[in-house]
Structure 1
Amino acid sequence: MAPEQSTASGLGTSPVFRLPGRHRVAVFALDGVIPFELGIPLRIFGAAENPDDRSPLYEVVTCSLRPGAVRTDADFPIVVENGLAALAEADTVIVPASHELGPVYDEGRLTAPLAEAFAAIRPGTRCVSICTGSFLLAAAGLLDGRPATTHWSSADHFQRLFPRIQVDPDVLYVDDGDVLTSAGVAAGIDLCLHIVRRDFGTAVANNVARRTVVPPHREGGQAQYVRRPLPEPQLASTERARAWALDRLDQPLSLRAMAERESMSVRTFTRRFREEVGLSPGQWLIQQRIEHARQLLESTDLSVDQVARQAGFGTAASMRQHLQAVLGVSPTAYRRTFQTAAAHA
């Protein structure tokens, strides 16, 4: 079947070709773009395949304010063939970080060309930022009254510039439905994997993670990457205790038992655990149990009660409470959504 062709008057000189049936992702590259962040969407979404016939599930295009050369923050430019017409055709628009945001970063306002670009995006299009690309979404008004994150080093400035946004500087990404933001740099990988998982289920996302040699889900938030003075010259790791706990999520796990695996007092273990992971042991355990429950709900036909026991929640009511608090849905609703996505992947 020949690709569909569409154009948008006044939005660029190049026609946009669309392959039917694929989710179309437009990556918006501006002068000063950071090549690493720019390459994340193509690498992650480009590796997502239908498990039945290995056909691509996404079509990724790069666009800019106009076709042509775009400066990067490296010692080389890139040539972008698509203009703003690609934004008008996208199902998802991704804005990576740029070091030349000018009035956007300094004053929180869009320039006229950027305002035209955001006006080209169709209502209902999913918008995503990587690192300080969040400043563009905020300046466009897409984050007003909503939760969001950005690179930890810019979080205070981001909050001052956009006081209506609920800024969370500790997480790796924030999913607020049709608008998603990630923390700094490699957190864009975490967010893109999350989007694949949301769109097509755990099995597809895990396959992407294997192909790109990254963890399917990283523990903790970006607080663990903020430089802090170390209270002691050398800190023993809590890694063995975490591995031990992950093998026993279906069992009661006490803080004392985890501390004993590392031959530490509970107090020392708790402090060092938070320094390494960015979460308390209790918060981390709940997070791991939620992730395990999600995998079981997506990939098995176990009853909700059985999933709750295997994930370590004990009862369906307890699991329901935790999933509702973190994901905003019940176990049954989550299973219906993601098993359907996997069936259609």
Structure 2
Amino acid sequence: MQRIAFLLYPGFQVMSLAAASVFEFANIGVREPIYDISYVSETGGRIVSSIGMAVETIAFGDPALDTLIISGAPAEVVPTEGERRFMQAALAASRRLASICTGAYFLAHAGLLDGRRATTHWSVARDIQTRFPRIKMEEDRIFIIDGPVWTSAGMTAGVDLALAMVEKDRGIDLARAVAKKLVVYHRRAGGQSQFSALLEMEPKSDRIQNALAYAKGNLRTPLSVEQLAEAAHLSPRQFSRAFRSETGQSPAKAVENLRVEAARLMMEEGRHSIDVVAQETGFADRERMRRAFLRAFGQPPQVIRRNAQRDSLA
């Protein structure tokens, strides 16, 4: 049985423990439990979370676990010397060491991310990069695998991280079954953006929301302003003015952002050629898609795919 331990500390965030449900349902999905889940802390006993809920923990013991997962917190928490030593010993003795959200601070303070690719919650990624310049921080990733060290973005990205672990351990079928039980998408690729184009725009009126929903469902078509205006039940002139007022973008830029988001996901999944991805997402040809990727990510589609493949093989 694989021992999975969550390292908790005063003020940890309960949302980090959502990842434990992934391992719980993996156990339910097989005849014999494959994961032994525990919660550890330096002192043992009750550890109170940021929301006031307490979790009973056991004191640090044998660091030779299968996986040690560091929970996140609403703000930076610096590990104690005991916590540093335990994490360092766990990295040497265990198969995997992981952090969820701001748990990356713990790994950074212990020097365990030096020279490695890593990610964390977007709101603190640049602070970590500035303070720990030896880390190769990639702030717009859901999760990253660099050798035995796994890091994830904030909140629900810990579930994506845990699903990826189950997939590595027992295959995609079990990971899919767990995701279905948890009613979550199986699974966001590690390289997927932490941001959503639709959420970034935050349209206020139903009319503009309807136009964007229409655009997202019809990316393969040219999507003229006239089409979008019709979906919003406005004249083209009214639509363009209202769209920019609500989203801060022109309709053309918004459509490009939706296309880039859809194309990036298809590139990461790796099931289609670049030409097919360009056609299916409405770019018409690979060169137009390449230019859009460079504007959005500073990288061409091939690099996005290569990074996703590297993560899947790690």
TM-score band, normalised by the shorter chain? Answer: 0.5 to 0.7
C-alpha contact (below 8 Å) 1:290/1:322 kept by paired residues:
no
Residue equivalent to 2:38? 61
Cα distance in structure 1, aligned partners of 2:82 and 2:198: 35
> How far does residue 257 in structure 1 lie from its aligned partner after superposition?
7.8
Residue equivalent to 2:88? 119
3-state SS of paired residue (1:142): coil
Residue equivalent to 1:3? none
1:305–1:323: structure 2 CA closer, same or farther, 3 Å change rule? closer
Please state if 1:150 is matched with 2:120. yes
> How far does residue 258 in structure 1 lie from its aligned partner after superposition?
7.3
> How far does residue 283 in structure 1 lie from its aligned partner after superposition?
4.5
Residue equivalent to 2:306? 328
Cα distance in structure 1, aligned partners of 2:161 and 2:108: 18
Residue equivalent to 1:79? 56
User: What TM-score comes out, normalization by structure 1 length?
Assistant: 0.62
1:195–1:164: structure 2 CA closer, same or farther, 3 Å change rule? same
Amino acid at match of 2:162: C
Residue equivalent to 1:221? 194
Cα distance in structure 2, aligned partners of 1:281 and 1:26: 44
Cα distance in structure 1, aligned partners of 2:218 and 2:126: 39
C-alpha contact (below 8 Å) 1:66/1:83 kept by paired residues:
yes
C-alpha contact (below 8 Å) 1:237/1:272 kept by paired residues:
no
> How far does residue 42 in structure 1 lie from its aligned partner after superposition?
1.0
Amino acid at match of 1:113: G
3-state SS of paired residue (2:25): coil
3-state SS of paired residue (2:154): coil
Residue equivalent to 2:155? 185
User: What TM-score comes out, normalization by structure 2 length?
Assistant: 0.66
Cα distance in structure 2, aligned partners of 1:199 and 1:266: 52
3-state SS of paired residue (1:88): coil
Amino acid at match of 1:186: T
Residue equivalent to 2:68? 93
More helix by share: 2
Residue equivalent to 1:34? 13
Cα RMSD, aligned residues only: 4.8
Which segments of 5 or more consecutive residues in structure 2 lack a partner in the other structure? 291-298
1:308–1:97: structure 2 CA closer, same or farther, 3 Å change rule? closer
Residue equivalent to 2:262? 288
Q: Number of paired residues?
A: 291
3-state SS of paired residue (2:102): helix
1:97–1:323: structure 2 CA closer, same or farther, 3 Å change rule? same
Cα distance in structure 1, aligned partners of 2:285 and 2:34: 37
> How far does residue 41 in structure 1 lie from its aligned partner after superposition?
1.8
State the identity %.
25
Please, which moves more after superposition, 131-140 or 66-75? 66-75
3-state SS of paired residue (2:38): strand
3-state SS of paired residue (1:48): helix
Cα distance in structure 2, aligned partners of 1:189 and 1:216: 10
> How far does residue 242 in structure 1 lie from its aligned partner after superposition?
5.7
> How far does residue 202 in structure 1 lie from its aligned partner after superposition?
5.3
Which segments of 5 or more consecutive residues in structure 1 lack a partner in the other structure? 1-18, 105-109, 298-302, 339-345
Amino acid at match of 2:64: A
3-state SS of paired residue (1:128): strand
Please state if 1:132 is matched with 2:112. no
3-state SS of paired residue (2:177): helix
Please state if 1:173 is matched with 2:142. yes
